Structure 1
Amino acid sequence: MHLIQGHSDPRVFFSPRGEPLMIVGTNGIHNCLGQYLIDLRALVPDLAAKMHITDIPIRFPNLTELTRPNLQEIEKNWFMMFDSLDSNREYLHYDFLHRSLAALKPPADIATYKSIANPSPELVRGLLQNFKKSDYSANDIHQASNSLLVTLCDFPCIPTIHNTVLVELMHIKYSDYYRLYYRRFAIIMNATAPFDVLGRTENLMYAGTDSDTMIYTVSMAWDKGNFPRHEPWDESRHGGKEIWLELDIQQQLERERNKAPTVSPIDDTFDQEEADSMALHKRATSSSQNPFISDGYHGWLDDVLMINIGINDNAAGTIHTTAKDLLECITLA
């Protein structure tokens, strides 16, 4: 136990609400090393004022233990996902090899016990055997970074369920029996639950780094402050809710129908068209903003990402790249 006392492997990220959050490992209540969630504004004095986010409530003022069924003695590198078309409902992604994720129970302090994930496709699982050198052996698939929402076109194209995906950076950990190395891949997923894997990139080579050095990804964020590529999104000028509602009408209706109460087959007073109309009206009036767009969590292909890396467990670095360059070559599932 003394070897893993204290906090380790922090992952700092923004939620769609604009909260600066951190998932960090420390000694668990239910296992040896657990995962905890906290709002950084509760830790860093004046952070809220410096980031101009004083109007967003702090939901996680203390370390909040996260959990899942069949906890391992050591858990690490979990990341959160948000369903933009379900009021940014929060999910925890636990594992890619034996894919597992689950929704958080209100008030988002403990995970449900049922995973909703479909299995990872072969193009992810097969990476463990995809090594050309016989003296290298793959050890594991590791989750690496937080997730971000990317619209697969340049600003100001309108984000919809058809052109917007979740991206997370994943590792293959391997060794030559003496040293550890990582290969890095961007994983592309649907933007809505159950977040099926759509594809992945090839091994990401970070410019200025050495392939013989142990380099691993820690987190990523949109760096729109230092690299402003375009004006802020304006719903009234760039295409408002009427456009994305029209584009997504079938998906919205399907969701509302699934949530509707069951009706007896002999009840001839039920009018499906009226129910659809009411559902669309409720959805259209519930928000004046495109549900995919948020300053800290969402970006376009021409936006710049800041990718934070660890080097040999004794140094850190930062790489800037556009989302377009990161996702330039994708193999589809």
Structure 2
Amino acid sequence: MLVKSSRRLLLVVVPLFFVTTCIFIFHQFRSSRVSGQAGSWTSDLLKTDSQNPEAAAGGQEQVSLFPFGKHGNSQEDISDKYVEVFSASTKNKQYFLVEFGNEKAINPNIIPHPTRPEAWIIVAQQHRDKDDKSIWFSELVCEARFKRGRLSCNKPPKILPIAVTAGDKCVDDLSYFSFNVGPHDARVFYGPTSPFVVFGSNSGYTCFGQWIQDFRVLVDWQHETIGGGPYRLATELQRPPPMSLVEKNWFLFWDKNGDAYVHYDAWPNRVYAKQEKDGSVGGDLAHLARNNDEKCMQRFMPKVEGHLESIHQATNSLSITLCKRSDVGCEPNDENTYIMAIIQHKSYYSFHSVYEPYVMLFKRTAPFELHALSSKPIWIHGRGKPGEKRPKGPEFESLDSWNQTEMFYVTSMSWKAQGQKYHGYSDDVVFINFGIEDSKTASIDVVAGDLLKDIGVCSSP
């Protein structure tokens, strides 16, 4: 009888033990191995910068999820691995939230209000819940002021009236884009004289491209006569061939004479060309600087490990003179004034994106060679370190611990002071605007020179 009972017991215990072991092994595998599960890349291309994994499933490369050391996240760890920047105005020196009333938003932009002191215009992509299958996209806009430590709309935000564009180049796997309505991931910024908005929308040259429009025709811009300037209507930007089916994250820059150029890629090779007022461009100029740039990038560009990592452009550009406005002898010239933009190293592991921003400086005269790159990524004070501010969502619930940093993705930057447009100095304050875990918009106002600490100069020994 005892033998029969034992056999019956084994018939129950052994399968149960086997199933439990399999579940445990699968769970450990999932937590420790690289995951590239991203779903359909076709639909992902219409997601925000932070959501697009940029790689299909199947990666098995190992990655360290402990950038501060497995058992430490001290202040010393930050200073060793990052250039930490602090707010010039908040009491705790941390970033502040950017709020659009009751509306959810991502990918924020801030520019100084043209006439009202201590006021700014803020713009961001209206954010929809994951279960919202709408094909309609829009940008929110409002006048904002600081209230209780946050930059918030004075009145409920409005929809930025960017017209819908159309094209017939989205076919086969990209036919989904044909149903897109409205702008994506707008960047609002000042040029040397005027404000502009660059946004993604359906293209006449490829499937999905980049457009530009004078920002003043889209908002109540009372103090200037716009006249016959360029881009009163949305104008599609072009690029030298080859052109990808989906283009995004382009930025404009201006040389010392005020001529405009478009910067298309920062990695693996830079690509940029002169911009005409009708949207057309000249040939790629980057090959003229490639010898210098390749040497500089090999020294200072962050390394990319495997296809679940990448480097891409993040922000618009600004012109910066590397001496202080307060210094009597500080005069802009070709030896101290450069074009500044932010690029980001992106990784996508364990169903979670992590972005690390770096400053890029290049010359303001053709052929616009790289001058310097951050030797360490920028750390925004207040960002969650490993084990802190764990993101919410069912995809994270099965993980035993959270050892990745909080996802901050930088989208734009601007000078803070009213009346300041494209050019500034190292002691001027700049807004660095970013999204947090696809749920909040935020910014930090930092002294520009603080962004350039420990920067690697290309010509240095």
Per the normalisation by structure 1, the TM-score is 0.70
Q: Does 1:207 align with 2:381?
A: yes
**Alignment of structure 1 residues 255-270 onto 2, 5 Å:** none
Contact 1:137 1:175 in 2 (8 A): no
For 2:352, the equivalent position in structure 1 comes to 179
Q: Structure 2 regions of 5+ residues with no counterpart?
A: 1-174, 386-404
CA distance in 2, matches of 1:295, 1:128: 32
Contact 2:270 2:286 in 1 (8 A): no
CA distance in 2, matches of 1:190, 1:317: 30
Q: Answer 1 or 2: higher relative contact order, Cα 8 Å, separation at least 6.
A: 2
RMSD between superposed Cα atoms in Å: 2.2
**Which of the numbers 48, 71, 84 marks the counterpart of 2:243?**
71
**Which of the numbers 75, 84, 103 marks the counterpart of 2:274?**
103
Structure 1 residues 94 and 83 mapped into 2: Cα distance closer, same or farther (>3 Å)?
A: same
CA distance in 2, matches of 1:318, 1:56: 33
For 2:417, the equivalent position in structure 1 comes to 224
For 1:146, the equivalent position in structure 2 comes to 316
Contact 2:206 2:245 in 1 (8 A): yes
**Which of the numbers 222, 246, 261 marks the counterpart of 1:91?**
261
Contact 1:220 1:306 in 2 (8 A): yes
Structure 1 residues 220 and 56 mapped into 2: Cα distance closer, same or farther (>3 Å)?
A: farther
CA distance in 2, matches of 1:153, 1:128: 27
Displacement after TM superposition at 1:129 (Å): 2.7
Displacement after TM superposition at 1:7 (Å): 1.4
Contact 2:216 2:226 in 1 (8 A): no
* Code of the aligned partner of 1:198: H
Give CA-to-partner distance per residue, 1:86-128, whole Å, 9 cap, x none. Answer: x3111100001121100013x3521224334423335535745
Contact 1:151 1:301 in 2 (8 A): yes
* Code of the aligned partner of 2:248: K
For 1:42, the equivalent position in structure 2 comes to 217
Give CA-to-partner distance per residue, 1:37-94, whole Å, 9 cap, x none. Answer: 00111111x22x2xx433675321111001111110111110111111xx31111000
Structure 1 residues 121 and 103 mapped into 2: Cα distance closer, same or farther (>3 Å)?
A: same
CA distance in 2, matches of 1:326, 1:198: 15
SS of the aligned residue for 2:316 comes to: strand
CA distance in 1, matches of 2:225, 2:323: 32
CA distance in 2, matches of 1:104, 1:35: 13
CA distance in 2, matches of 1:35, 1:73: 12
* Code of the aligned partner of 1:129: K
Give CA-to-partner distance per residue, 1:222-272, whole Å, 9 cap, x none. Answer: 1113xxxxxxxxxxxxxxxxxxxxxxxxxxxxxxxxxxxxxxxxxxxxxxx
CA distance in 2, matches of 1:31, 1:314: 31
Contact 1:301 1:324 in 2 (8 A): yes
Q: Does 1:307 align with 2:432?
A: yes
CA distance in 2, matches of 1:314, 1:59: 35
Percent identity over paired residues: 31
What is the number of equivalent residue pairs in this alignment?
A: 253
Contact 1:149 1:165 in 2 (8 A): yes
SS of the aligned residue for 1:111 comes to: coil
SS of the aligned residue for 2:263 comes to: strand
Give CA-to-partner distance per residue, 1:188-225, whole Å, 9 cap, x none. Answer: 11121221111111200011112522211111111113
CA distance in 1, matches of 2:210, 2:436: 23
SS of the aligned residue for 1:16 comes to: coil
**Which of the numbers 40, 58, 64 marks the counterpart of 2:229?**
58
SS of the aligned residue for 2:188 comes to: strand
Contact 2:285 2:367 in 1 (8 A): no
CA distance in 2, matches of 1:215, 1:145: 13
For 1:170, the equivalent position in structure 2 comes to 343
CA distance in 1, matches of 2:274, 2:304: 32
Per the normalisation by structure 2, the TM-score is 0.52
Structure 1 residues 55 and 31 mapped into 2: Cα distance closer, same or farther (>3 Å)?
A: closer
Structure 1 residues 88 and 216 mapped into 2: Cα distance closer, same or farther (>3 Å)?
A: same
For 2:198, the equivalent position in structure 1 comes to 23
CA distance in 2, matches of 1:321, 1:150: 14
* Code of the aligned partner of 2:215: L
Give CA-to-partner distance per residue, 1:281-309, whole Å, 9 cap, x none. Answer: xxxxxxxxxxxxx9301111110001111
CA distance in 1, matches of 2:431, 2:191: 16
SS of the aligned residue for 1:129 comes to: coil
For 1:32, the equivalent position in structure 2 comes to 207
